[in-house]
A and B are shown apart, each in its own frame.
Chain A
Amino acid sequence: MRKILWNLCLLCLSLAAACAQGKLLIPMDLRQTDHLKAYGIAYWALTKGMEIDWLLNYRGGSFMLDGLEMVATECRVRGVTCEPVGAADAAGIYADVQRDDNNMDVVRLEKAPRIAVYVPPGFKPWDDAVTLALEYAEIHYDKLWDDEVLQGRLSEYDWLHLHHEDFTGQYGKFYGSFAGAAWYQEQQATLEREATKLGFKKVSELKKAVARAIKSFIGAGGFMFAMCSATDTFDIALAAEQTDICDVMYDGDPPDPDAQDRLDFSRTLAFTNFALEKNPLRYEYSDIDQPPSDMLALQNPETDYFTLFEFSAKFDPVPTMLTQNHVSVIKAFLGQTTNFKKSCIKNSVTIMAEKPGLDQVRYLHGNFGRGTFTFYGGHDPEDYQHAVGDPPTDLSLHKNSPGYRLILNNILFPAARKKQQKT
């Protein structure tokens, strides 16, 4: 009893200290020295049981925490700018953010999401922008692969990331360029073994089963974030449930001649009415990707940008969270899947960023069942044309990367407390 009283006293004292110290603001505008690690601080605070207020559209989507010295010290150690704010000033900021005539709002973050990344064994973090960002921001994640997904392990997580995966079973369609490369042959052999081990005759069948399991995870309330080729191949695999789209070098037999007609677009999450790329040697899956992968050389990095849409923070908090940034025009970057053809996107999907004046969407979000999915085109936001074998991106040189910020918005998004829509 005495111990409980003692603990209560300690709690009261620390709360009083916190109130007396006011709040700590982590600004996310141009004054922030390390935007990416700022997300790591937010995640770290959540793991310590603290609550965070995400001030949507306030100074680039800043975070407000209790003004504890341990948080300020951790910010300094990680090189994140934070500003102590007195209690009165903090109240002023909250009032300002919640004013009806301001496109801002407060979202309370309560619980650190459990994060899983779908990656093959032997994977290196620098092959994937999201794991690079997670590692840099010091956000814990677990790795899952086909067997864990099919065993139902996804239910242990809130958030799943997919990156440069090929759910169509065509090994990234690298055959035309890398058929003789040791890494390609090994990748194929590994996946074939995995498929056999899990009872599938073909890798494409295994991948379809994995895509179905991930779709069920989303339907049950999971958050899925996909980048690069994991976006379109995921939907292609779902649409191709009843047909064979793989050519002989990928699964040992020719594709179904009627594969295109047998695609079932009602099964997909985001895309519809797309046309498959039937040439097995072409580094492209379908016409979803814009511009096609073999036309990327024509892109000029100096003029390649995409624009974030602005949403109503009070009425559309989810897309607002996902688009928090200190800039609205972002340097583009290429990938096996770079942009999504607008005419292939379902009406139910929210477009969050696009290349203005073109039929090209960069960033989209949608709901399925009780969960959500977000697709982000391109491979590495700070490596314009990331190629096989390129050295890893050093994120300490890109601490303020707006492109990477979009990834990290997605990680904090599941931590948000759901609140009633204002209608």
Chain B
Amino acid sequence: MIKGTEIGSVYQGTRVADEEPAERHGILLLLVLLLVGGMLLSLSPPQAISQTSDRDSKFRLAQALEQSGDFERAAALYQELLRGDPSNYVLFDGLQRMWMQLKRYDDVILLVRNRLRENPADLNLHSQLGSVLYRAGHEKEAAAEWDAAIAADPRNPGTYRTVAAVLSENRLLDRAAAVYRRGRTATGDPNVFTLELAQLLSASMDYAGATTELVRWLQQNPTQLPFVQGRIASWSAKEEARAAAMQVLRAALAEHEENSLLELLGWLAMEGKDFPQALATYRRIDEVSHAHGTSLYQFAERAFKERAFDVASRAYQEAIAAPLPPQRLPAAHYGYACALKELGALADTAASSVRTTPATESHPLYGGAIARFRKIIEDYPVSEFSAKSYYQIGRIQFEQFADCDGALASFEHVLTEAGGVPVLRYDVLLTMGRVHVARGDTARAVDRFRVVAAAPDALPDQSDEANFRLAEIDYFGGRTDAAIKILDGIAVNLKADYANDALRLQAFLEENVTTAPEALRAVARGEFLARQGKNSEAVAVLQEVITSYPQAPLVDDALMLIGSLQASAGLVTDAIASYERLLTQFKESSIAVDRAQFRLGELYQYGTRDYGKAIAAYEKLLADYPGSVLAAQARKRIRKLRGDPF
């Protein structure tokens, strides 16, 4: 809306000059004004001044009435003023505005038509007349008026903008788009109105049309890819919109292949997580732009972060084969090896808590990744990537193959090659400590853990883990008091990642250290054997605990541990028997019964795949132990197994 003072200035037909900063100019201006004022006073009769002042007051009153919503009285004043000054556009516009507010469409039509008689070529008036006719319900006449407006100056792009704007105001978006298209033909310029049409079409949810226009814009301005992406991003989250845009882009690329369009297509594919399509596009981008694998490598990094390991591995492979510039090759090789490792992990069923395949079957799954890491070590010795490769190999050897010696050798290499990076060094030391425990060499394990525990620059989580592992070693060695003392220090910080583990072990030790110290030592021995992968020996020790100390409070823990070891060894039937035994023999005394019942359900669900029994086991948990912390999980499992829609 125009401000009153501005309208007032226009109405009076005067403009106030900018103030001159210099004093000299100020004096000069004052003299001129006095002179002009004197001349006006001598020439104008008093009535003229009075009339001007009266009209000015009326005009301001009309404005005030309009602002207060009294359109009737404002219209009457505008009409009166216009009668006295029929050529004044501001008054004409005011009256028209008021009558529109009052829905006096016939009066507005007459008013505009009268004015058109004086200015038959006025494009704005024709457009406005069309608008009034449309609102009055005379749609055919309105269309004719808009056509007439265009016909008055068909070669001028401004004509089409004016008419389309009026159509848009009336929410006739399709017709506005048609006007722009008509203008494009009439002006002979296929690139005019591109952004206007894109905006209009996307507002009408014609995403294919909007993309066509944005493609046209991008073809004219190839550097404006981010601008176009920004426009599309407002609706690219919608699948149907994205599909429409991609179809348009593919058609455009079939006609004329351009890098910017390929980039846009690749970006859209990534937005929709269509990684194979994105890979195909980035492959082409790499070719067209002679990027020598750089585009493919960048795409591979993004795909890896999105956990699309399969596509990422292919992209890395192709980038390497391109070949990439030498400085980027080690990172690409390393990325490729990591993608292979992740693919191996995804295919490894042994990761489940109930093992259904022998552990040796994991070996081929990681063979490719290990070979690639070794090749990096060979090709880029004593480098960041060789150290990281040793670390990855060591973790596979330890966590997947239980190859402690191999893992230790790999980790030693990491310490040699990346000793200057403390964070990585402490991670390696912690893992090495765990490997030594798995080998039964607690002395060396303690050495490793103590280094981390004492390191002032270790992260808090690294320190907590080191202390927790030291407490575990004390427990395994029967030094229960020492273990409890260390655990006290960790459990004090309840926000620490290891606080829960520390509290659980601490409670277990404190419960049994006085009531069943012998049995506790035997269970510790069993757990230590289990940590070394000696499952059958561990089970035998734990069975002995149950036989020898049937009254010890830790008997149910021993049975739970036996069941867990049997399950992870794939001995599902034995594990079921162990949990059943706990549930029958220790139903009244054990606090682990709900966990045993839940594990039973898991064994039926994932081990024997007897879903009926699994549901029954979970339902029994809900019926017998309604307050269990596992109840919510059991409910979810039942719903999933039953195939409930909710």
Contact = CB atoms under 8 A, between A and B. Distances in A.
Interface of A: 72-73, 76-79, 135, 138, 182, 185-186, 188-190, 192-193, 244, 248, 251-254, 256-257, 278
Contacts of A248: 169
Contacts of B635: 77-79
Given A77-B622, A254-B103, A189 B170 contact: no
Contact of B101 (A72, A76, A135, A257): A257
Contacts of B71: 257
Given A182-B234, A189-B173, 16 more contacts: A73-B623, A77-B635, A77-B638, A77-B639, A78-B635, A138-B644, A138-B646, A185-B203, A186-B205, A189-B203, A248-B169, A253-B135, A254-B100, A256-B103, A257-B71, A257-B101
Interface string B223-239: 00000000000110000
Contacts of B102: 254, 257
A186 B204 CA distance: 7
Interface in B604-646: 619, 622-623, 626, 631-632, 635, 638-639, 644, 646
B171 interface: yes
B170 A252 contact: yes
A420 to B, nearest CB: 38
B69 interface: yes
A79 B632 contact: yes
Interface string B97-138: 000111100000000000000000000000000000001000
Nearest to B100: A254
Q: Which 6 A-B pairs have the closest CB atoms?
A: A76-B622, A182-B234, A138-B646, A254-B101, A253-B135, A252-B170
Contacts of B644: 138
B619 A182 contact: no
The SS class assigned to the B binding surface is helix
The SS class assigned to the A binding surface is helix
A252 B100 CA distance: 11
A189 B631 contact: no
Nearest to A33: B626
Contacts of A190: 205
A387 B302 CA distance: 33
A76 B169 contact: no
A288 to B, nearest CB: 21
A138 B635 CA distance: 14
A66 B237 CA distance: 49
A76 B205 contact: no
A350 to B, nearest CB: 34
A253 B170 CA distance: 8
A73 B619 contact: yes
Contacts of B639: 77
Contacts of A188: 171
A135 B135 contact: no
Pick from B205, B626, B638, B646 the residue with the most CB of A within 10 Å. Answer: B646
Nearest to B644: A138
B137 to A, nearest CB: 9
15 contacts: A73-B619, A76-B623, A78-B635, A79-B632, A189-B173, A189-B204, A190-B205, A192-B171, A193-B204, A248-B169, A251-B171, A252-B169, A253-B103, A254-B100, A254-B103
B619 A278 contact: no
Contacts of A253: 100, 103, 135
A189 B201 CA distance: 10
Nearest to B136: A253
B302 to A, nearest CB: 25
A189 B171 CA distance: 9
A203 to B, nearest CB: 9
Contacts of B173: 189, 192
Nearest to B131: A252
Given A135-B646, A254-B100, A254-B101, A76 B203 contact: no
A126 to B, nearest CB: 15
Nearest to B72: A257
B82 to A, nearest CB: 20
A219 to B, nearest CB: 32
Contacts of B171: 188, 192, 251-252
Nearest to B171: A252
Contacts of B204: 189, 193
Contacts of B72: 257
B103 A182 contact: no
B626 A76 contact: yes
A72 B626 CA distance: 12
Nearest to B615: A77
Contacts of B101: 254, 257
Contacts of A257: 71-72, 101-103
Nearest to A190: B205
Contact of B619 (A77, A193, A244, A254): A77
Contacts of A244: 103
Contacts of A77: 619, 622, 635, 638-639
B169 to A, nearest CB: 7
B622 to A, nearest CB: 4
Contacts of A193: 204-205
B625 to A, nearest CB: 11
A182 B646 contact: no
A229 B635 CA distance: 37
Contacts of A254: 100-103
A59 B486 CA distance: 51
Interface in B447-477: none
A25 to B, nearest CB: 16
A188 B170 CA distance: 13
Pick from A77, A135, A256 the residue with the most CB of B within 10 Å. Answer: A77
Contact of B235 (A135, A182, A256): A182
B538 to A, nearest CB: 36
B75 to A, nearest CB: 11
B135 A252 contact: yes
Nearest to A136: B646
Contacts of A256: 103
A191 to B, nearest CB: 10
B336 to A, nearest CB: 38
Nearest to B205: A189
Contacts of B626: 76
B623 A278 contact: no
B69 A278 contact: yes
Contacts of B623: 72-73, 76
